[in-house]
Amino acid sequence: MEAFVAGGGTSTMPWTFEGKLKTLWNKTLRWPGHYAQWKAYMDAGLLEEEPIEVKGQMVSPRDVLHAVIDPKIRATDKDKDIVIVRVLGKGTKDGKKAEFLLDLIDYYDETTGFTAMQRTTGWDGAITAIMNASGITPRGAHTVENAVPGDLFVEELKKRGFNIQETFKFI
């Protein structure tokens, strides 16, 4: 496996925690060579959405890439995935250096047929929607990290069968 920084998962957190965190990473795990392959597509302009003319037709390079590659890489019923989430926080608590670690590992669900990615993204959205409908989160537009109570969110994930390990220690 290889890991590389992917910005999507952090969303608004860099601005929310500016001045409070020294480092904030969101890394994606993929098979060896994945990043180089997609970087080559990007460098070649194949992820651009702005249409270009090809043989008298206006086409989006991204749409062409998607049409060509999707049938070849689409997951099948034989494909089983895994999602690994690690949150590592280092700082001070009560004037002492401390470390908090949260690990979530989720696998393809043989019973439901849901992929780990479907489970970890779908349940997150459902839990957040339930919290909003129940008045747990404030009404209106807010960043998730400011609106959703973290401890309660983790407990709700555990209720849905997610394997989450949390450790805290002074270092």
Q: What is the 3-state secondary structure (H, E, C) of 4-38?
A: EECCHHHCCHHHHCCCCCCCCCCEEEECCCHHHHH
Within 8 A by CB and 6+ apart from 74, the residues are: none
Adjacent-strand bridge partners of 86 = 103
CA dihedral 7, 12, 13, 14 (to 10 degrees): 70
pLDDT at 54: 97
pLDDT at 1: 84
pLDDT at 14: 86
pLDDT at 111: 93
Average pLDDT over all residues of the chain: 91
pLDDT at 50: 98
Round to whole Å and give the CA distance between 91 and 101: 12
Host H or E run for residue 118 = helix 116-133
pLDDT at 22: 82
